[in-house]
Amino acid sequence: MKEKRGAERQTETFFVLTVDEFCEFLNPRKMGNLSWKKLELGFVLIYAAFFYASFIQRSLHLSHDYAGRLYGLRKGWLAGRFNDISDPQWRSFRENLPILTIVMGSFVTIANFLRYQYGMKGRGMSLLWTILSLCYLVYLHGACVAFIFAIASANYFISKTFVESRYYLGILWSFNVAFLVLNRVYEGYPFSLFGQRLAFLDNYRGTFRWHICFNFVVLRMISFGWDYYAAFNRHPFDLKRHMQRCEVCSSGKTCYHALQEKGLHIEKYSFCMYMCYLIYAPLYISGPIVSFNAFAAQLEMPQKSYSFLRICFYGLRWFIAFLLMELITHFFYYNAFAKSGLWSQLSPFQIFIVAYGVINFMWLKFFLIWRYFRFWSLVSGVETPENMPRCISNCHDLETFWKSWHASYNKWLVRYMYIPLGGSKRKLLNIWVIFTFVAIWHDLEWKLVAWAWLTCIFLIPEIVVKSFAKAFKATSALGEFLNHELSAMSGAVTISCLMIANLVGYVAGPTGIKLLISRMTEKEARLVLATIFCSFYVGVKLMFHIHDMRQKV
């Protein structure tokens, strides 16, 4: 699509604007009468430079002063500093990275060698990857692989048996949501539940809890069932019209959207291809999420959107991001502050530093995990949607934030939930169903359901305001200026709401809400809160300027 180029630029998260683009934007011939924007841009750049310089300096002092009292610090390799590995997910990924990379290299070498040596395509590659992935799963889950195959086989049977029924989609969703809940309720089903003869198998449950990974398998089972239903009923896709709007497809290649929407021949929806899709090693643990149609098509014909050099550059960028994470965890102990509970002893501005640092740490952590597995998938010939296409500091509204945080999951929700529920015509109602499912999908906890419903409450005024903003068109310089200011203030409010949620969710926790409120309502905190809000306001304006520069260049 025409948005493809813009989406690719958004993935350049380290340098949001090139020097050439910046100089071209400041060209007076380009700017016309918008001189106030140039003055504003200069101000926000200076403010941002001072803000981040102050933030970094205070973060360094904070980490140095409290290093001896923080949990989760280990002796590091950089400049004799401690390393913050207090986050269990990041610690597990980082410690297993060497063996994971060896597995990746071995699997890719075997699969690509056999593909090109013997001309293996869809059926042969699906069998090969099923065998390789099964070895991977046995190491991860041990005897619990039997649960995965049993539930997956039942879902395949339902898809093949009831596809002609008018109640098929309801049966498909009910089955998958039911097991999503049951897996959590019974904590992955102890084998002793099925008789004492099988109880000994509980000693061979592998190194990783299978029902945690199975959440992603549920998404894939629904994707297979839905895509099979669409292909069986021959839902049309206007490829010619799509090619007129898509730069990738018009150039002779095939974009991900076209691979996803084009139905496959019914024979491609085989059990072997289905199982290969569910347990495909590069994407099994954490995604990104790819639809069945797109996966099966690329197993038949490897992706061509990414050249060999581009894949190498993608890997290089990942390695640079990994070094950045190592730099952050060696010098800034944000997550350790949250885990240690020492935030209550900090000043209001120091609490903000920790909260802002934690959310950036979380973003970079998921950025590295998701892109590592996407890189593995790319070198294996399968392109997936990109997670984290936009930097966390370049999102000024909730809708943009959720579209960027787990982008492939968002695309899955749009395709399999949002559009079938009525799309934009019923948007205010759809978000309640979708976010409730998202909460249940993550875990069975009331606090997640409460988080989902609070998110919906925050989204409703944003959706309403956006609908009015689209209808309103500024016809004068004053109208454009007022619209610009109101949008910036609205963005600052949204970021403030996200920061509050981050403080409660990752720093203070539910038990520390009362203490957090009391600290933030102190007299000395008022000036700090006002400064932080002004900083968010200026930050939103900087995001607007970056967007304008990309539009004009």
pLDDT in tens, 161-172: 999 999 999 999
Helices and strands (H and E) in the chain: how many: 25, 2
**Residue 516 placed within a domain:** yes
- pLDDT for position 509: 64
User: Which of these ranges, 95-109, 298-312, 332-346, 483-497, has the smallest mean pLDDT?
Assistant: 483-497
Return the higher-pLDDT residue of 212 and 479.
212
> What is the C-alpha to C-alpha distance for residues 380 and 449, in angstroms, rounded to an integer?
37
469 vs 529: which has the higher pLDDT: 529
What spatial distance separates the first Cα and last Cα of the chain, rounded to whole Å? 19
Q: Within 13 Å, how many C-alpha atoms sit on residue 295's CB side?
A: 29
Residue 141 covered by a domain: yes
- Are residues 418 and 275 located together in one domain of the fold? no
- pLDDT given at position 304: 84
Task: Assign 276 a pLDDT band (cuts: 50, 70, 90).
Answer: very high
100 part of a folded domain: no
**3-state DSSP call for residue 302?**
coil
The per-residue DSSP string of 113-176 comes to HHHHHHT--HHHHHHHHHHHHHHHHHHHHGGGHHHHHHHHHHHHHHHHHHTTSTTHHHHHHHHH
Mean pLDDT of 50-70: 90
- Inside any domain, residue 307: no
Instruction: Note whether residue 392 is domain-resident.
Output: yes
Bigger pLDDT: 383 vs 28: 383
Q: What is the pLDDT of residue 479?
A: 66
For residues 380 and 422, state if they share a domain. Answer: yes
Q: What pLDDT digit, counting tens, does each position of 497-527 carry?
A: 777 776 766 666 666 677 777 777 777 788 8
More confident residue, 147 or 40: 147
pLDDT cut 90: percent of the chain above it: 44
Q: What is the per-residue burial (b if ≥16 Cβ within 10 Å, else e) of 105-119?
A: eebbeebeeebeeee
**What's the confidence (pLDDT) of residue 108?**
94
**Do 371 and 315 contact (CB within 8 A), yes or no?**
no
Same domain, residue pair 294 and 428: no
329 and 291 share one domain: no
Label residue 61 by pLDDT band (50, 70, 90): very high
Cβ within 8 Å of residue 4, ≥6 positions away: 246, 247, 248, 255
User: Is residue 142 domain-shared with residue 254, that is, in the same domain?
Assistant: yes
Residue 119 is which amino acid?
G
In percent, the amount of the chain with pLDDT more than 70 equals 88
Q: Which of residues 270, 300, 330 is at a domain's end?
A: 300
- Binning the chain into helix, strand and coil, the percentages to the nearest 5 are 80, 0, 20
Which of 515, 539, 519, 540 has its CA nearest to residue 528? Answer: 519
Number of structural domains found in the chain? 2
Q: Are residues 426 and 535 in the same domain?
A: yes
Is-contact 71 340, C-beta < 8 A? Answer: yes
In a domain, 4, yes or no: no
Could you tell me if 353 and 55 are in contact, meaning their C-beta atoms sit under 8 angstroms apart?
yes
Segment 29-44 shows an average pLDDT of 66
Same domain as 380, residue 240: no
Give the pLDDT band (50/70/90) at residue 244: confident
Looking at the structure, tell me whether residues 178 and 75 fall in a common domain: no
User: pLDDT at position 36, please?
Assistant: 67
pLDDT in tens, 4-15: 444 444 444 333
Confidence class for position 25, pLDDT limits 50, 70, 90: very low
Query: Is 70 in the same domain as 163?
Result: no
Q: What is the pLDDT of residue 11?
A: 42
pLDDT digits (tens, 9 = 90+) for 175-229: 999 999 999 999 999 999 998 999 999 999 998 899 999 999 999 999 999 999 9
Q: 327 with 285, same domain?
A: no
For residues 183 and 243, state if they share a domain: yes
Q: Over 60: is that where the pLDDT of 1 sits?
A: no
For the chain, the C-alpha Rg in angstroms (whole number) is 25
pLDDT recorded at residue 7? 41
pLDDT for res 367: 94
Residue 544 has pLDDT above 80, yes or no: yes
pLDDT number for residue 254: 78
**Domain range holding 286?**
122-300
pLDDT tens digits for range 289-303: 999 999 999 998 888
What pLDDT sits at residue 281?
95
pLDDT confidence of residue 348: 83
pLDDT above 50 for 246: yes
Residue 27 lies in a domain: no
Regarding whether 511 and 366 lie in a shared domain, the answer is yes
- Chain-wide mean pLDDT for the chain? 84
pLDDT digits (tens, 9 = 90+) for 338-387: 888 787 788 888 888 888 888 889 899 999 999 999 999 999 999 999 99
Residue finishing a domain among 300, 333, 355:
300
Query: Of the candidates 300, 329, 355, which is a domain's last residue?
Result: 300
Residue 424 lies in a domain: yes
